[in-house]
Amino acid sequence: MDLIWWLLWIFWFTAYIYVVIVVITDLFRDENLSGWFKALWIIALVFVPFLTALIYVIARGKGMAERARERYAGVPEADDYRPSASVSPAEDIAKAKALLDAGTITQGEFDALKSKALGNQYFGA
């Protein structure tokens, strides 16, 4: 029975620490709140931690959600980072040549892209 209480205590303590970290990060992310009010919230978190975290989540929970939504609104989906599939090696080499002619890449980078497009493992092949 002691093990169950110990595990329950560890769970609640970990959840509380997570809430405190979320509250502190939200405090520093809020641009509308003055520095003095931020300091007061931090002092209250130090001296009356559980009650302060509970009051903060109740009083400012809607604003916390809005700030989190704004933060993640500009983050593209993971699918946007996938490179497009190659159509043909000739097209890849042509794109690399256009980059070389524009001065965007060096001759060595062009050679590496050409080698990769042709499927060679070594640059000199």
Q: Based on the domain organization, do 64 and 109 belong to the same domain?
A: no
Assign 70 a pLDDT band (cuts: 50, 70, 90).
confident
Q: Which pLDDT does position 54 carry in this prediction?
A: 86
Cβ proximity of 12 and 53 under 8 Å? no
Q: Based on the domain organization, do 12 and 44 belong to the same domain?
A: yes
Q: What is the distance between the alpha carbons of residues 49 and 23, in angstroms, rounded to a whole number?
A: 11
Q: For the segment 9-31, what is each residue's pLDDT rounded down to a tens digit? A: 999 999 989 988 888 888 888 88
Residue 110 lies in a domain: yes
From the number of C-beta atoms within 10 Å of its C-beta (0-12, 13-18, 19+), residue 92 rates as middle
Q: Is the pLDDT of residue 5 over 90?
A: yes
Q: Based on the domain organization, do 74 and 27 belong to the same domain?
A: yes
- Parent domain of 108: 84-118
> Considering only CA atoms, which of 124, 95, 121, 101 is closest in space to residue 111?
124
Give the lowest-confidence range in 2-11, 19-28, 62-71, 72-81: 72-81
Q: For the segment 107-119, what is each residue's pLDDT rounded down to a tens digit? A: 998 888 888 888 7
Q: How many domains does the chain have?
A: 2
Q: Based on the domain organization, do 6 and 64 belong to the same domain?
A: yes
Q: Based on the domain organization, do 6 and 36 belong to the same domain?
A: yes
